[in-house]
């Protein structure tokens, strides 16, 4: 047992740090630190920089364009990105559909789509959930009927994150109603830019537009864009969910946020001192920091286990569950730090470059909306209740 980084790792850390210092655009960094909303262009700009460096998808196997980094190196990379305030790469391409394509896709699909993901040319979104199928995903109804070399797709997907910015959507569709529900699902790659696809915004409780309903009316999809076998899509879907959940813990990001929380609370007056001198607040911060540490070292333990080849299963659910609870708690404390100044709703102050006199505290505007918004994390990627069901099954051997 040994927690130290080797000299090689320290050198790697320095390399990443230098890269971030030299390449992360300062406006994007400012937005991240201030908790301001990123535009499509911000993500694209940053991802183009990573793509150019060859760092879009470090975890992919080297033969498909991954970095060939060790587990520890990947951890260091995430950690440094979080510290520097770099946006996380949008997961739909690199962490979701990419691995499905290189694991289950055809050679043509690999040749066509993987480079486009690595070069940041396609923005992907995820078409799993439907109005009637959330936790019970296998009940999905969106239908694909074979017509020669094509499928004709009809139905509705919902909660589709950033579909309004997407070029491509990967969809679970029903191709058979026979047998078990899980055995009639196929996995399609669909171009968003075609007739019959309509994207309708869903506004969330923080006033933001990040999710959508996507309607499909007689959309033609080449059979060549089906991943793997017909009616075997559920297997690929589950494989993907495993990846998705692993990515939702957001540990490096949470660490950066705890740092910010201390900084902000240190500048807020309370009881004649600062809020960081307030014993109750200080303890709340300490508590979440300890929880985060426990999560981080759990994550690291699992990563090292996985690196040695042992399978990781329901443990991923635990990372998702605790990771999201911790994100929610940090966000709550950030809002609470503002006291009364959590109340004002100042959307204009959440725009980058707004430089009028702040209302109360300059940091305040995005914090309450962020707290409202972050309630989503215990819902998406499989709700936390569903994660507990999975963990319970494993623990009890059910």
Ligand X SMILES: Cc1cc2nc3c(=O)[nH]c(=O)nc-3n(C[C@H](O)[C@H](O)[C@H](O)COP(=O)(O)OP(=O)(O)OC[C@H]3O[C@@H](n4cnc5c(N)ncnc54)[C@H](O)[C@@H]3O)c2cc1C
Residues that bind ligand X (CB under 6 A): 125-129, 134-135, 159-161, 211, 376, 379-380, 382-383, 385-386, 389
> How big is the CA angle at 67 (ends 65 and 70), to the nearest 5 degrees?
140
CB proximity list for 274: less than 8 A, separation 6 or greater = 265, 266, 267, 268
Q: In angstroms, give the least distance from the CB of 346 to other proteins.
A: 6
Residue 205's φ and ψ, nearest 5 degrees, are -65, -15
Residue 336 contacts other proteins per CB under 8 A = yes
What are the beta bridge partners of residue 269?
274
Burial class (CB in 10 A: 0-12, 13-18, 19+), 264: buried
Verify whether residue 244 is a known catalytic residue: yes
- Tell me, residue by residue from 270 to 309, as one string, x for binding to other proteins by CB under 8 A and - for no binding: xxx--x----xx--x-------------------------
Q: Considering CB distances under 5 to 8 angstroms, the limit depending on partner class, which of ligand X, other proteins, none binds residue 128?
A: ligand X
Question: How is residue 78 annotated by DSSP?
Answer: H
Q: In angstroms, give the least distance from the CB of 186 to ligand X.
A: 15
Question: Rounded to whole angstroms, how far apart are CA atoms 388 and 394?
Answer: 10
Question: How is residue 281 annotated by DSSP?
Answer: H
Q: Which of 6, 135, 194, 293 binds other proteins (CB under 8 A)?
A: 135
Q: Considering CB distances under 5 to 8 angstroms, the limit depending on partner class, which of ligand X, other proteins, none binds residue 346?
A: other proteins
Residue 314 contacts other proteins per CB under 8 A = no
Question: How is residue 358 annotated by DSSP?
Answer: P
Q: Considering CB distances under 5 to 8 angstroms, the limit depending on partner class, which of ligand X, other proteins, none binds residue 89?
A: none
Point out the catalytic residue in the list 73, 80, 210, 244.
244
Nearest residue to 328 via CA among 278, 371, 273: 371
Structure tokens given for 112:
């066509």
- Tell me, residue by residue from 77 to 116, as one string, x for binding to other proteins by CB under 8 A and - for no binding: ----------------------------------------
Q: How many CA atoms lie within 13 A of 233 on its CB side?
A: 26
Q: Considering CB distances under 5 to 8 angstroms, the limit depending on partner class, which of ligand X, other proteins, none binds residue 126?
A: ligand X
Q: In angstroms, give the least distance from the CB of 161 to other proteins.
A: 11
Structure tokens given for 385:
């209740």
Q: Considering CB distances under 5 to 8 angstroms, the limit depending on partner class, which of other proteins, ligand X, none binds residue 120?
A: none
Q: For residue 325, what are the CA distances in angstroms to 78, 181, 248, 338?
A: 20, 32, 11, 21
Q: In angstroms, give the least distance from the CB of 387 to ligand X.
A: 9
Question: Rounded to whole angstroms, how far apart are CA atoms 348 and 158?
Answer: 29
Contacts with other proteins, residue ranges (CB under 8 A): 129, 133-136, 139, 158-159, 202-205, 207, 211, 268-272, 275, 280-281, 284, 335-336, 339-346, 359-361, 368-369, 371-372, 375-376, 378-380, 383-385, 388-389
Provide the annotated active-site residues.
244
């Amino acid at each position: 047992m040994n927690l130290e980084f080797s000299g090689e790792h320290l050198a790697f850390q320095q390399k990443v740090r230098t890269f971030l210092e030299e390449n992360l655009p300062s406006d994007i960094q400012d937005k991240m630190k201030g908790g301001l909303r990123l535009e499509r262009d911000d993500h694209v700009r940053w991802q183009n920089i990573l793509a150019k460096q060859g760092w879009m998808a470090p975890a992919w196997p080297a033969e498909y364009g991954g970095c060939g980094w060790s587990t520890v190196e990947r951890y260091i990379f995430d950690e440094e990105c979080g510290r520097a305030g770099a946006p996380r790469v949008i997961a739909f391409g690199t962490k979701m559909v990419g691995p499905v394509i290189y694991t289950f896709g055809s050679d043509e699909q690999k040749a066509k789509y993987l480079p486009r993901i690595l070069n940041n040319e396609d923005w992907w979104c995820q078409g799993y959930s439907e109005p009637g199928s959330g936790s019970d995903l296998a009940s999905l109804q969106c239908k694909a009927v074979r017509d020669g070399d094509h499928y004709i797709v009809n139905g509705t997907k919902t909660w589709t994150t950033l579909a309004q910015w997407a070029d491509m959507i990967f969809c679970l569709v029903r191709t058979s109603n026979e047998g078990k529900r899980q055995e009639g699902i196929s996995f399609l790659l669909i171009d968003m830019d075609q007739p019959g696809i309509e994207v309708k915004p869903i506004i969330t409780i923080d006033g933001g537009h990040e999710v959508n309903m996507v309607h499909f009316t007689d959309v033609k999809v080449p059979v060549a864009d089906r991943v793997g076998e017909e009616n075997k899509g559920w297997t690929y879907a589950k494989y993907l969910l495993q990846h998705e959940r692993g990515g939702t813990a957001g540990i490096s990001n949470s660490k950066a946020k705890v740092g910010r929380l201390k900084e902000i609370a240190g500048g807020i007056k309370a009881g004649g001192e600062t809020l960081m001198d307030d014993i109750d607040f200080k303890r709340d911060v300490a508590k979440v920091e300890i929880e985060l540490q426990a999560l981080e070292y759990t994550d690291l333990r699992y990563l090292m286990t996985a690196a040695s080849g042992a399978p990781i299963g329901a443990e991923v659910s635990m990372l998702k569950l605790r990771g999201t609870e911790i994100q929610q708690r940090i966000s709550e404390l950030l809002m609470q730090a503002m006291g009364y100044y959590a109340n004002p709703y100042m959307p204009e102050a959440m725009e980058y470059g707004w430089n009028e006199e702040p209302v109360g505290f300059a940091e305040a505007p995005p914090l309450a909306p962020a707290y409202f918004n972050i309630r989503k994390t215990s819902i998406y990627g499989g709700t936390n209740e569903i994660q507990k069901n999975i963990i319970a099954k494993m623990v009890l051997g059910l």
